[in-house]
Amino acid sequence: MKTILLEILYIMAGLVALFTAYLALQDKKHPTRLGSTIFWALLAFAFIFGKYVPAQLVAVILIVMGVLTALNKVQFGSQKNSSPEFRQEKSNNFKNKLFIPALSIAVFAFGIAQFTSLGGLVGLGIGAFVATIIALVMTGAEASYVAYDGSRLLQQVGSASILPQLLAALGSLFAAAGVGDVIASSISGVIPQGNILLGVIAYCLGMALFTIIMGNAFAAFAVITAGIGMPFVYSQGADPAVAGALALTAGYCGTLMTPMAANFNIVPAAILETNNQNRVIISQFAFALVMLFIHIILMYWLAF
C-alpha cells in the first residue's frame, strides 16, 4: 500500500516536471526554450518510468541533463506572477486564511507519519493534494494555474532542485569506490577508534570545516558521513537519527562562517549595502562557534 502510494506520488512529481517541460516549450519568449524543455522532460521521464528502465539509461539521462546545465541551457522563462496590486488586494481580502493551505501540508505530513504506518512522504503527498484543493476552492483560481504556477516555481528553483537527489547518488558512488575508507584510514591515525567523544568531535568539526571549504553542507554530509560518521560515530552505537540530524546542522554552523556560501552571506551583505562584504559572517561568527560547541555536547549526550 505504502509503496503503491509512493509510486503514485513519484508520478505526480513527474507530472509537475512534465507540465514544466510543456509550458517551457509553449513559452515563446523563453531564453533557453529547447534546453529547458528537454531538461524537464528528461526529469519527468526519470520520475515516472525510471524504475522500469535499466539504471544505466537513467544515468545517461542524468549526464545529458548535466551537459544541458553546464552549457547554461536551463534557465527561467517568461512566466509571470500576478501584479503587485492584485496580490496586495487579495492578501487584504483573505488575510491569514492564506496560510491555511500552506500549513495543512506540514500538518498532514506530520499527522500521517505519526498516526499511520504510511510514513511522512505519503503524508506530504496527501497534504499537498488537500492543500491544492483548499487553495483552489478558497481563491477561486482557475485549475490551469495548478500547472502554470507549479511550473513557474519549479523553473525558478531551476536545475538545483535535483541537487539533493544527485548528492545522495554521489554518496553512493563514493561508497562503492571506497572513498569513505580512505578518509577513515587517514583519520584513524589521529583518532583512536573506540573513543566516542573524539569520534563525535571529529564528526561535528569535520562537517563544519568541510562546509566552510565547499560552502554546501549537503555535499559535505555525503562525504563526511561516509568517511568519519560511519567508522567513528554510527558504528559505536549512536542513535542514527540524532547523530545524522546534528551532523547536518553542525555543517550549517560552517555555512554561517564561510564566504563560500555566497547566497546566505555575501549576497545579503550586498543587498543591505554594507561597507564590509563579510559583515554578515562577522555578525554570525560567535553564534556559529557557540552552536558548534553545543552540537558536540548534544550529540555526545543524546545519541549515546
Residues within window 224-263 making contact with other proteins, judged by CB under 8 A: 225-226, 230, 234, 239-242, 244-249, 252, 255-256, 260
Q: Mask of contacts with other proteins, 77-116, x by CB under 8 A?
A: ----xx---xxxxxxx-xxx-xx-xxx-xxx-xx--xx--
Site for other proteins in 112-141 (CB under 8 A): 113-114, 119-121, 123-125, 127-129, 131-132, 135-136, 139, 141
Nearest approach, Cβ of residue 133 and other proteins (Å): 9
Q: Which of 5, 22, 291, 304 binds other proteins (CB under 8 A)?
A: 291
Site for other proteins in 4-33 (CB under 8 A): 6, 9-10, 12-13, 16-17
- What single string gives the DSSP state of each residue in 180-219? HHHHHHHHTTTS-TT-HHHHHHHHHHHHHHHHHHHS-HHH
Burial 74-107 (b: 16+ CB within 10 A, else e): bbbbebeeeeeeeeeeeeeeeeeeeeebeebbee
Do the Cβ atoms of 48 and 10 come closer than 8 Å? Answer: yes
SS3 53: coil
Site for other proteins in 169-188 (CB under 8 A): 169-180, 182-183, 186
SS3 233: coil
Residues with Cβ < 8 Å from 257, sequence gap 6 or more?
208, 212, 281, 284, 285, 288, 289
Q: Mask of contacts with other proteins, 41-70, x by CB under 8 A?
A: -----xx--xx--xxxxxxx-xx-xxx-xx
Size of the site for other proteins (CB under 8 A): 152
Nearest approach, Cβ of residue 300 and other proteins (Å): 13
